[in-house]
A and B are shown apart, each in its own frame.
Chain A
Amino acid sequence: MEDLSKYPLQLDGNDVPVVRFMNVTKSYGSLTVLDQLDLDVTEGEMVSVIGPSGSGKTTVLRMLMTLETINSGVIYVDGQPLTHMEKKGVLVPADQKYLRKARAKIGMCFQHFNLFPHMTALQNCMEGPVQVLGMSKKQAQERSEELLSLVGMIEKKDQHPSRLSGGQQQRVAIARALAMRPKVMLFDEVTSALDPEVIGEVTNVIRNLVNEHNLTMLMVTHQMGFARDISDRVCFFFAGKIEEQGKPADLFGNPQRERTRQFLSAVKEAD
């Protein structure tokens, strides 16, 4: 067991990041997926995570959503520990109840949308606010309709997911996650399962969120052009570590590390 006393109970100061990974390691048996990761995301920042498959990039998002446990280190959200809680002056691994509360600050969109098939688009969006936040149905419906308008899906609000295209389902999924008013939004390869002709409708929604709303976002993507366009920062992951990070213009225009160059040129060739 790791000695957790070296981690602060909470982050103080003026510029507390919205997300902080502190020395986070994740392994499955002898396979280390993430190796002592340190990563800060500041308020309103859009960070893209790129890298070859198996580099641990999706794991970063899944850990932040607490879908995966971590082996060592601590993740803080909004200055408060996410994966741990305080007990008698030290941090201990969080229990289910604490996790449920803590992860309410995080919203996530998945590669395969994962909309609830037995609910309409509107019901999908209302589910969280009503069942988890305890909102009245009327209020939840107002909020959901507003968000469905934002993603351009208000006309389809009474359709079930099986009647929607992939791009439309993903837009509803974005509205569903936003309906919980998360501090941080996570996008896990949200365009990877889409037909090429509908990718644009989803990236436009995300672009709109970046431009018009001051949301903190983390995005794992294979679309380099899109990442370059909208990110404040791009992190290149390799073998469980951040190999290189920087402003998109620098990282894509003038990569410093050999592995980054190799990866970017391999991706360019595939395009």
Chain B
Amino acid sequence: MSYWSFLVEYGPRFIDGVWITAQQFVLAALLAIAIALCAGLMRLSENAASRGLAIGYIELFRGTSLLVQLYWIFFVLPLFGITLEKFSAGFLAVGMNLGAYGAELVRGGIQSVPKGQWEAAYALSMSPAKRMIRVILPQALLNMLPPWGNLLIELLKSTALVSLIAVADLMFQAKQINGSTFMSAQAFGTALIIYYILARFIVTPFMRRCELVMARKMGRG
């Protein structure tokens, strides 16, 4: 069977898989961003309790394996009465894990804003929340974008793990096709190429675009 006829035969299943992978990616990314923002801000809070909570979260999710976390969420939580269907368990695990890494990016981004910016906002009598939202976060965001680009590519590749709890993503389809055809090189080779294309030609240009828009807002475009 030529590679071309392989693609004609199994292409639709790869496309189904890509569609699920894309959904997993978008949902996990949104969750990771939300968690990163919360945990990153809490990490810098003056309140010891919220700082402790954030540190605990970051340590737990960064210090243990994503695959184990995924299994915990899918196989162990039901024992405590929390049952999630596999699709939700998949993006929750990936989002929560990468969110812990993102929290450190948020913290670093905020800390990299010069102290003079805090002082200028303070001298205008801005409240702590206004200082953060109006002055610090926009500048922190610009500093954070390049490492976030990396993190989102990492996140995309991490979604492949959800195939292990039978979410029918790209990796899952590749494994299924391999199992029924034994055409390993073609099956996994195609998956490899598709992941690369998604990362290189969709995620990366999107992040570049964001950086450009932000830079223009800073008058640097």
Contact = CB atoms under 8 A, between A and B. Distances in A.
| Bound together | yes
B134 interface: yes
Given A116-B120, A118-B139, A162 B125 contact: no
B219 A116 contact: no
Given A65-B123, A107-B123, A114 B116 contact: yes
Interface in A169-193: 173, 176-177, 180
A159 B219 contact: yes
Interface in B38-59: none
B125 A116 contact: no
Nearest to A108: B123
A132 interface: yes
Contact of A180 (B119, B122, B125, B138): B125
A160 B218 contact: yes
A145 interface: no
A69 to B, nearest CB: 13
A240 interface: no
A160 B125 CA distance: 22
B213 to A, nearest CB: 12
Interface string B184-221: 00000000000000000000000000000000011110
A159 B139 CA distance: 17
B219 A67 contact: no
A161 B134 contact: no
A8 interface: no
B125 A128 contact: yes
B218 A67 contact: no
Most chain B Cβ neighbours within 10 Å, of A101, A112, A120, A161: A112
B1 interface: no
Contacts, number: 71
Interface in A117-169: 117-118, 120, 127-128, 131-132, 159-163
Nearest to A67: B119
B130 A132 contact: yes
A176 B124 CA distance: 9
Nearest to B115: A114
Contacts of A108: 123
Contacts of B139: 116-118
A110 B127 contact: no
B138 A118 contact: yes
Given A110-B119, A110-B120, A114-B119, A131 B126 contact: yes
A103 B134 CA distance: 19
A160 B216 CA distance: 10
B117 interface: yes
Nearest to A65: B123
A48 B76 CA distance: 70
A116 B123 contact: no
A108 B124 CA distance: 8
A104 B119 contact: no
A160 B123 contact: no
Interface in A31-79: 65, 67
Interface in A73-90: none
B153 interface: no
Interface of A: 65, 67, 96, 100-101, 103-104, 106-108, 110, 112, 114-118, 120, 127-128, 131-132, 159-163, 173, 176-177, 180
Of all A-B residue pairs in the complex, the 6 with the closest CB atoms, nearest first, are A160-B219, A114-B120, A114-B116, A128-B124, A104-B125, A108-B123
17 contacts: A67-B122, A101-B125, A103-B123, A103-B125, A104-B125, A107-B123, A110-B120, A112-B116, A114-B119, A114-B120, A117-B218, A118-B142, A132-B126, A162-B219, A163-B219, A173-B120, A177-B124
Given A65-B122, A131-B126, 8 more contacts: A65-B123, A100-B125, A112-B116, A131-B134, A162-B218, A162-B219, A173-B120, A177-B123
